[in-house]
Structure 1
Amino acid sequence: MATEEENVNAYELLKLETEATEQEIKTAYRKLSLKVHPDRNPNNPEAARLFHELNQAYELLLDPLRRLALDQKLRVKKARAERYKSYDAKRKNMVEELEERERAFKKTRLDKKNEEIKVQVETERIKEEGRKLRERKEEDIRKRNEERIKGQWVEEDDVEAPELHPLDTTIRLKYSLKKHPELTTPESIAKLLSGFGGVDTESIVLSLKAPKKSVDKRPKSGTALVPFKQIRDAFSTVSASGQGEHGLEGIEVDWVNGKEPQILSWLKKMGKLDNLLPTSASSSQNGASGTPARLPQDQSAGSSEFSSFPSTVPGSAAVDYESLTLLRMRQAERERLEREIREKEAAE
């Protein structure tokens, strides 16, 4: 029989003395088993367990060898209890102290084991937090690097100069013929503006307008579209609008599209627009050499800075397909603007 079964006192379960005969064992078992039989006690959840224990006790007591072992165990237990009763107070205290030490030792060992488990769990938690913190730092570094690289791309995009539009070097002049009666031909306008730089005289668009109600139909005002060969010179002319010292008193000068070209906005942003001054001022500032500050498109092909900018009007030896296309676009844009001027004058 298993140890657990032997720990149960079979005599106590069957309510018998250790000297009980085999017949007494059977009789006691029959009476008690009928009382706790599961079929007779369907509402008692303990009935099956009690019935099983009675069966185990009954089988044990009917087995001579197992009963002999149980009797021996009970005798030893009884003798120990009797000896313990005979102990004096001192020996009892010693036994109790020994048992207390054993319990304390077991408790200490259990507490130590629990503490080790607790430390292990805490260590794993710290490792996990460290791993998460490391991952967050790596993610932050990765994001900062991406933002830094992205910022570098944005800066590079900002440094890159915009494309030069075909009409970026063309300006619009509006003036009264009463104040400037000499400005009636493209040549006279080119001569007026020659102090600012080279002008494409053949491409000048000139419109002289007379008031509708005028009897003699004489022109009273003029509008001219003037293409410069360099955007620097066009900018200098617009900057000198209406200034008498440059011969532009009473003359309104503006960009042909009514707004500043993108290349000039870019130059302002890059801090390079201060070099674009009217010719007289530029000459005085540059000293005896008289070398004017150059725009990106004015740089020579060998220059390291802005060397990719095309010349506004390429020389005949350097005219290629791209330059021809640029010139044709400028001519088409001028023709469109000329038509708009004619239509506006007709409407007025």
Structure 2
Amino acid sequence: MDADADAEVDAYALLGVAAAAGERELSRAYRAKALQHHPDKNRGDPAAARLFHDVKAAYDLLSDPVRRAAYDERRRALLAKRQRLGALSSQRKRMKSQLERGEQAARDARDAERERAQAVRAEAARFRDEALRDEARRDRAMRDHVRHSRGRPDGEPADDLDRAVRVRWATGSSHDRASLAAAFAPFGALDEVVVAPAAGPRSALLVFRSAAAARALLAAGSADPRISGFECAWAAGARPAETLAGPPPPPPPPPAADERRLPGSGLAFADFEALTLERMRQAGAAAAAPPRQG
């Protein structure tokens, strides 16, 4: 072994001595190692023969002061290089560990965000389903209310839809309950006149006392000079089945885009709501009136 030998083979490590070992320590170490790895004592072991040769080469190198000095210089340079590489390796390991932790944190944040988004979507779907169920319940309640039979002494059908007519007029015209009742009274007695709110379409709902009056109005149509400024149509959107006798009335105008209708009924939500509010107002007024004296 010389100063240019492979640095992977450490002469001091082969002999088992420190780098500052003197000649006597080197000699004792060499004799012990040579005896340990001598081929005669390790027959059939090729590795022992190689180690015996390396131990002798290490001793020859370190026992020569000139060769040992050159070897020590090279060895120190290689050890320093290994330390630098080890430091760089440790730094790379730290950087890699930090990068992996950052990536994991980003993945965790994305997973948490996805879970939050899924929770929000699920909650929105739940609210939407509840709203649809509530609306369906309200629809059923309104249909039951509108179609509830109140009975009439004159024997006319009691269904409000059979007696309700929707009237519309031009935007420039102005009408209230009194003027509408006066305009349509010639066709028959009116139970209720409900004018749509000012913010809504220019229309009103007329509920006649008899289905015959409603049929008479629809039969006259806009050709009657008394109602030439109005458009009239069944509030249900179609002529009631039990009143098909006689000539059919003119087709109703198409409903406005915002006039939704009750499921299972042709009555518009706006009509039903206005009708219900009017009945509540009348019921409240009747309850507040003092009792009649007998």
Query: TM-score under structure 1 normalisation?
Result: 0.34
Query: TM-score under structure 2 normalisation?
Result: 0.39
Larger-gyration structure (1/2): 1
